[in-house]
Amino acid sequence: MLQISVEDSEIGPGEAHRWHLVPLTGADGPAPRRMTGYNQAKHFTVAQYAQSVDDPIRSYVAASFELAGPVDLDALAGALLELVRRHEVLRAVYQPLAGDLGCEVLTPDEVALKHVYGGPLETPAQVTAHLQEAFREVDTLSWPLITMGAVVRTGSTTVWFSCDHLVTDGLSTAIAINDIATAYRDLTATAAATAPAPATAPATATATGTTDGTAPQPGPGSYLEFSRTQRRANRAMRADDARLDHWRAFRDRNGGLFPRFPLDLGVRPGELYAPVTSTERLLTGRQTEDFGAVCRALDGRLSMGLLAGLALALREQGGPEVYRGLMPFNERGRGEYAESMGWFINTLPVEFPVGPRAGFGEVLAAAQEAYAQVRAHAAVHFVKAWKLLAPAEYASLRYWPHAVNFFSYIDCRRLPGADRHAAQRARMHVWVSGCNGILHWLHRTDEGLFVNTIHADTPQAAAVNRALLDGFARVLTEPLGR
């Protein structure tokens, strides 16, 4: 699964269809108020404040994938509805509390889909414009927080959905693609077994109405229940709690909780810039395999080899001799939440030396040791540490205070449904309305190692990004002897 902007996705023309999530009146009403996650509460209150000062910050996490052959629109609608019924976080209606966020949850039987035919999209440019507009419809402060649709052609269909970050993360994207594709396959198989041909809505009809689909399969663990457990575990934490020692020490050495991106990007303090997005391959599949073997021979993980390589590339471009950054940490585990949608991401500080004469093996060992420290302190959530250790910043910041050093890596080959990603042309699309720094999302597929970049639209940021990625690729290939 590639992470790529929708503008670069090369989705062909076709007939536009939308499915809008709508609530139904249930006999018992929505479930009682539930606790939300740390990330959700902060994200929602930031959106509220930004709206109040007429400075909205918009973003989405979207995806697209292909279904081969003529589409069964009824089965596709059923599969999309099953996604929402399966994941409780998508059915939650979020409500502000005093400095916090709660939600009430519609039951699976209290939601339906309204189908709307959108007409023909005759050129790739029209498809791109249609998806850009649809993706950006999701709004943190409005329900629903997911929008879904398809571009239908004679021999294939592009299925898409877009979520607000409030209810999703990068790993959720692959989970949702797998859930939709699996449900669609099951529903079309059932239709084929019980009827001579699948029922398909006319491509030129303006179809509206609700689709109930079929009864959902047993769902995965609830993100809201996970959040409740996590919040209870940290309820009694205070600023002097020993569990915050790791964060406190990092803050003191760093001069704050947010580690600065160490190179000059030509951005002015307090300003956001238009985002520039690109995706490129850094290593081929064979090179990535060989680089992983080099890391293992040095008793390291490939992911930490990438972190070490990036730290070395930064140093070569004039960065510091101590790498400090934030890295996302997946909290799902391998149990009941392994295939749950939600914002299951903690953000943790990583710090290690990158001496002026240190080689790759030495820096890899330091990165491995730093990662072990990260894992040992993963029970404390970044938002909780932020609120306790930097309360003034927590209350006032609407976005990161400056360009922040950030490292992210996903092995997409290990995600649910990954064996079908290539055939499906599975894509994740991440967008933000404004940026004050540079972000790199490293991800691995069978085709190699890729990087999706979003950086502030300044000449200096563009030059720094190009030099850094070229240097990074050089550091990664040097141990391979080519």
Q: Residue 168: what pLDDT? A: 97
The pLDDT of residue 218: 57
pTM of the model: 0.92
CB 362 within 8 A of CB 394: no
* Phi, psi for 242 (deg, rounded to 5): -60, -25
Cα–Cα dist 357/343, whole Å: 40
pLDDT on residue 56:
73
Q: How many CB atoms lie within 10 A of CB 315?
A: 21
Positive or negative, the Cα torsion across 132, 138, 140, 141?
positive
CA distances to 21, 297, 448 from 106, in Å: 12, 51, 41
**CATH 3.30.559.30 intervals, the chain:** 238-480
CA angle 186, 64, 9 (to 5 degrees): 145
The pLDDT value given to residue 328: 95
CA–CA separation, 108 vs 222, rounded Å?
A: 13
pLDDT at res. 473? 96
Rama region for 206: left / alpha / beta (φ>0; ψ in -120 to 50; rest): beta
Smallest CA-to-CA distance from 38 within 170, 223, 220 is with: 223
What residue spans in the chain does CATH classification 3.30.559.10 cover? Answer: 2-229
Tell me the average confidence (pLDDT) per consecutive run of 10 residues in the chain, 482 residues long.
Answer: 94 96 74 85 89 82 97 97 97 88 93 96 96 95 96 96 96 97 93 60 36 54 95 92 94 94 94 95 97 96 97 96 96 94 96 93 96 92 94 80 94 96 96 94 98 97 97 92 63
Q: Say how far apart CA 99 and CA 452 lie, in whole Å.
A: 34
- Which pLDDT score, from 0 to 100, does residue 242 have? 94
Per the listing, tokens 């959040």 go with: 227
**What's the confidence (pLDDT) of residue 26?**
59
Please tell me the distance from the alpha carbon of residue 331 to that of residue 38, in angstroms, as a whole number.
13
Q: Indicate left, alpha or beta for 10 from its phi (over 0: left) and psi (-120 to 50: alpha).
A: left
pLDDT the model gives residue 29: 61
2-229 in CATH: which number? 3.30.559.10
- Looking only at the bridges linking them, the beta strands covering 59-68 and 156-163 are antiparallel
Is residue 168 classed as helix, strand or coil in its secondary structure?
coil
Domain boundaries 238-480, corresponding CATH code? 3.30.559.30
Residue 443, amino acid: H
- How do the residues of the chain divide into helix, strand and coil, expressed in percent and rounded to 5? 40, 25, 35
Q: What Å distances lie between residue 93 and 35, 225, 229, 314, CA to CA?
A: 12, 15, 20, 43
